[in-house]
Amino acid sequence: MKRVIFLCTGNSARSQLAEALLRHQAGHFFEVFSAGSQPHDIDPRTIAALQKFHLPVDGLQSKSIDEFAGQSFDYVITLCDKARQECAQLPQAREV
């Protein structure tokens, strides 16, 4: 199974949404994760958007990119320029 991680600065909105959407649409093909370079609380609008599309919100929490140190991913997808700069070294990926 291919491993994908979505990265943004706060892991509070964009990367959380991307993780949830890919997991919902193609979770049987991918192990999906998200993280941030400076994680903070999940944006309430993120929760509202996921609920609107009947996607699970239980257990949502921001995660630091540091939690994935040493892990390899097939795809690392950065969702903002700041995250791309800050996360250039982590995690290991076959494609960015």
> What is the CATH number for 25?
3.40.50.2300
Q: How many domains does the chain have?
A: 1
Active-site residue, from 22, 87, 90, 91: 87
Exposure string of 26-61, with b = 16+ CB inside 10 Å and e = fewer, is eeeebebbbbbbebeebbeebeebbeeeeeeeeebe
80 catalytic per annotation: yes
pLDDT tens by residue, 34-77: 999 899 999 999 999 999 999 999 989 999 999 998 898 999 99
Question: Rg (Cα) of the chain, in Å, rounded?
Answer: 12
Q: Crossing angle, helix 14-26 and helix 44-52, to 10 degrees?
A: 20
Query: In the prediction, which pLDDT does 34 show?
Result: 96
Supply the pLDDT for residue 92. 60
Report the mean per-residue pLDDT for the chain: 88
Question: What is the extent of the structural domain holding 42?
Answer: 2-95
Residue 2 pLDDT > 70, yes or no? yes
Is 87 known to be catalytic? yes
> How far is residue 9's CA from residue 16's CA, in Å, rounded to a whole number?
11
Hey, what are 71's tokens?
Answer: 């892990």
What is the percentage of the chain residues whose pLDDT exceeds 70?
83
Please tell me whether the overall predicted TM-score, pTM, comes out greater than 0.95 for this model: no
